[in-house]
Amino acid sequence: MKKNHFFALSLIGVAVMSGCSTMPQSTTLDSARVDYSKAQANPQVVTLAPLQLKDAGEALDRANAAQTSREDAEVVESLAYVAKQKIALTQETAQRKSAELAVSNASAERNKLQLQARTNEADQAHQQAAMAELTAEQKTAEANLARQQAAAAQASAAQDQASLAAMQAQMDELNAKKTPRGMVITLGDVLFDTNQAQLKSGGERNVQKLAEFLKRYPQRTVLIEGFTDSRGSDSSNQVLSEQRAQAVSMALIGMGVGRDRVSTKGYGEAYAVAGNDTASGRQLNRRVEIMLSDERGVIAPR
């Protein structure tokens, strides 16, 4: 593990030196690299928190990869922040486990002294004094352990809060609204020509934002639902609603979203959200709604 991350950091260093003029800079990422190097050089961290160190290294790799591929500076900053938090959590874990070992060692030594006190009454006073000293050390170690646990919990909460904030920002950008069925994104008929199912360029830009969101949160799935106004026959409206939902689906798949994460449904003129007796009402009814699943990939039925 140490060799792999050392190699990865070396490559990153070369990439930074060769592309610094165009690569998005991040002081948070620079700080995370320094912190990770210190953690790797600490034998206590390597011995007592190897899994956390590996996780932190992978998080740092993702941040470095985002910078190397010239991702948006906000994305690089968000990934760097998560990596820095995981590195801090790794160090906290090592310190906590060290405190736990100190508690265990102190307890073992205290038991040893108790046995000696029972077998050697002449030296009882000395043994009791030593035991009292070890008890004090144990209490100190326990207090340190409590502080480390509190710090670890705080770091974990900060990481969760950062992830939720990033997801909410993307939700806001997509104009997602909360409904009884979950979060829904509505694409109006301005994204399609009249009686056509092919997306306009403006519609493709909105779908691209959704594709980026889905790639960042791979546990999420979508149900794309197409609707029309009441003009035209029921059969033609049904076909048109299905075609528009399918057009959005194919656009997402073409942007790298897996087919197994996208499903479609056409409802024709059903479930109108406005009256069909005015042009503005009919325009509201001609729409595509995209239902986002929960974290388990589940979408509530209509």
Q: What is the pLDDT of residues 63-104, one digit of tens each?
A: 999 999 988 999 999 998 999 999 999 999 999 999 999 998
- Residue 9 pLDDT greater than 90, yes or no: no
What is the model's pTM?
A: 0.46
Residue 274 pLDDT > 90, yes or no? Answer: yes
Q: Which residue has the tokens 């035209």?
A: 232
Q: Mean pLDDT over residues 107-115, rounded?
A: 85
Confidence of residue 111 (pLDDT cuts 50, 70, 90): confident
Task: Indicate if 60 and 137 belong to the same structural domain.
Answer: yes
- 44 and 155, same domain (yes or no): yes
Q: Residue 160: is its pLDDT beyond 70?
A: no
Mean pLDDT (the chain, rounded): 83
Question: Which of 72-76, 132-136, 151-155 has the least mean pLDDT?
Answer: 151-155
Q: Largest alpha-carbon pair distance within the chain?
A: 106
Angle at 157 between CA 156 and CA 162, to 5 degrees: 100
**271 occurs within a structural domain:** yes
Q: Are residues 153 and 41 in the same domain?
A: yes
| pLDDT band at residue 152 using 50, 70 and 90 as cut-offs | low
What percentage of the chain has pLDDT greater than the value 70?
81
22, 141: one domain: yes
Q: Is the pLDDT of residue 231 over 80?
A: yes
- When pLDDT is averaged across residues 220-242 and rounded to a whole number, the result is 94
pLDDT of the residue at 168: 64
Q: Is residue 223 part of a domain?
A: yes
70 and 179 assigned to the same domain = no
Query: Residues 135, 30: one domain?
Result: yes
- Domain-located, residue 8: yes
* pLDDT of residue 288 exceeding 70: yes
Q: Is residue 301 domain-resident?
A: no
Number of domains in the chain: 2
**Cβ neighbours of residue 107 under 8 Å, at least 6 residues apart?**
138
| CATH code for the domain in which residue 236 is found | 3.30.1330.60
Beta carbons within 8 Å of 239's beta carbon, 6+ residues apart: 266
What integer is the mean pLDDT of 112-137? 82
**Res 116: pLDDT:** 86
**Of 130, 146, 170, which closes a domain?**
170
Nearest to 74 by CA among 158, 182, 161, 169: 169
- Nearest-10 crossing angle of helices 27-41, 2-19: 150
Q: Is residue 124 part of a domain?
A: yes
State the pLDDT confidence band at 202, using cuts at 50, 70 and 90: low
Residue 18 pLDDT greater than 50, yes or no = no
Instruction: For residues 125 and 244, state if they share a domain.
Output: no
Q: Which 3 state secondary structure label does DSSP give 226? A: strand
In a domain, 232, yes or no: yes
Give the residue with greater pLDDT, 162 vs 219: 219
Query: Could you tell me if 166 and 270 lie in one domain?
Result: no
For residue 302, being part of any structural domain is answered with no
Report the pLDDT averaged over residues 139-147. 80
131/278 same-domain check: no
Q: What is the mean pLDDT of residues 30-49?
A: 94
pLDDT at 153 over 90: no
- 211 and 274 part of one domain: yes
pLDDT confidence tier of residue 22, bands split at 50, 70 and 90:
low
Domain boundary at 139, 170, 201, which? 170
**Of 113, 145, 170, which residue constitutes the final position of a domain?**
170
Assess if residue 300 is contained within a domain. Answer: no
Report strand pairing: 222-227 vs 287-292: antiparallel
- Structural domain including 216 reads 175-292
